[in-house]
Amino acid sequence: MWSCWAGTLLRGRGRCLAGVLGRRPLVCERPRCWSCGTPGGPQGRDRLFCPQCRALQPPDPARDYFSLLDCNRSFRVDTVKLQQKYQQLQRLVHPDFFMQRPQTEKDFSEKHSTLLNDAYKTLLAPLSRGLYLLKLQGVEIPEGTDHEVDQQFLMEIMEISEKLEEAPSVVGMEEIESAVRAKQKELTDSVSRAFEQGDFEKAKTILTKMKYFANVEEKIKLKKIPI
């Protein structure tokens, strides 16, 4: 009974009360508004502004990109919703709207704006989103990981690169480009399944392959630029 009641209270009142009920001394960890001193930190759905004086608060380092853009921490994201959220938040924090505000708020708006750009760019593309998700799981892919992929795959990449070198025209390159795009789509579906199954090692292997194809895509882009 007690634990149930205490649990309800703890969930309802946050960390401050945990100090009262637990053995630790009462330490209120919630931040105060830098401008008016109101405790509780920024509130509202976007958690950006002080509820009392409406001053823009600094970015919360505890929030990851998924939380910032209000989506589930998952490989599957609705990119239309992601874009809408990004634009909505950018409109709230854009430095142009803080020209007449104190320097502290101007600085915070710059920081929020940069952070939102990084978050949006990272979550929009499947490869960077996958790599970011892995990083949140403590898994990183270091540079020079040729040994992580099988020989057959490396041969496939070499063949594509050779074909690209020898492509006589833009039409030839477009064929290679659509083949690479189809491969990336296939790998994106596979990595999505790996994340759903919680198989991060498998996701790592697939994302490594996607990195190789991303390099090929970059080469194609460069070759398309007229000299």
Positions in the binding site for Zn ion (CB under 5 A): 33, 35-36, 38, 50, 52-53, 55
Question: Least distance from C-beta 212 to Zn ion, angstroms?
Answer: 50
Nearer to Zn ion, 38 or 190 (CB): 38
| Contact (CB, 8 A) for 167 and 216 | no
Nearer to Zn ion, 36 or 170 (CB): 36
Question: Least distance from C-beta 85 to Zn ion, angstroms?
Answer: 24
Nearer to Zn ion, 48 or 191 (CB): 48
Q: Is the dihedral of CA 74, 78, 79, 84 positive or negative?
A: negative
Nearer to Zn ion, 22 or 51 (CB): 51
Question: Least distance from C-beta 37 to Zn ion, angstroms?
Answer: 7
For the chain, the three-class secondary structure string (H helix, E strand, C coil) is: CHHHHHHHHHHHHCHHHHHHHCCCCCCCCCCECCCCCCECCCECCCCCECCCCCCECCCCCCCCHHHHCCCCCCCCCCHHHHHHHHHHHHHHHCHHHHCCCCHHHHHHHHHHHHHHHHHHHHHHCHHHHHHHHHHHCCCCCCCCCHHHCCHHHHHHHHHHHHHHHHCCCHHHHHHHHHHHHHHHHHHHHHHHHHHHCCCHHHHHHHHHHHHHHHHHHHHHHHHHCCC
Nearer to Zn ion, 20 or 36 (CB): 36
Question: Least distance from C-beta 104 to Zn ion, angstroms?
Answer: 11
Question: Least distance from C-beta 40 to Zn ion, angstroms?
Answer: 10
The CA distance from 122 to 111, in Å, is 16
Nearer to Zn ion, 34 or 200 (CB): 34
Nearer to Zn ion, 52 or 190 (CB): 52
Question: Least distance from C-beta 89 to Zn ion, angstroms?
Answer: 20
The CA distance from 169 to 163, in Å, is 11
Question: Least distance from C-beta 41 to Zn ion, angstroms?
Answer: 10
